[in-house]
Amino acid sequence: MSEGEGFQIRDRRRVNLEGKLKDEYDEKIKPEPGKKLLEPETQPFPTMKLDFVSFLINLSAMANDALGLGPTSKGINPEDAKYIIDAVGILEEKTRGNLTLQEERTLQDVLYELRMNYTRLIEGSSPD
């Protein structure tokens, strides 16, 4: 290799040695042409209640979609369904003794229903 060829080192830090933003970096993020950014105060924020039971219901809906049973299902994917069902099973093991009565019953019901639907799918019969 001759001199002048080879590796080139570039300083990609956004700040200079004094800790100030380099000239080539604008402090504001520029939107894509034709696309308007929402102001932070007006951006929608999810208001859905988030607790353990709603988390289980969400996992159940995802597993049922993978089993082809959900209203938004895009087909049957037994591998994804098994993964989610196994994850709910792990939750059952890891949360044993730390749940309220409602949470425990919901977890058992969801897990039973998912396992039965998965078994019916694998065996070739139609889930209820």
CA separation, residue 116 to residues 26, 102, 113, 123, 124 (Å): 56, 21, 5, 10, 12
Neighbouring residues of 93: CB distance < 8 A, sequence distance ≥ 6:
none
Contact 54, 48 (CB under 8 A): yes
Q: What percent of the chain has pLDDT over 90?
A: 50
Give the model confidence (pLDDT) of 33-44 as tens digits: 666 655 555 556
Condensed to tens digits (0 to 9), the pLDDT of residues 41-91 reads: 555 656 667 899 999 999 999 999 999 998 888 889 999 999 999 999 999
Number of CB atoms found within 10 A of residue 81's CB: 23
Mean pLDDT of the chain: 82
The predicted model scores a pTM of 0.60
- Determine the Cα–Cα distance for residues 5 and 12; give it in Å rounded to an integer: 20
pLDDT value for 12: 74
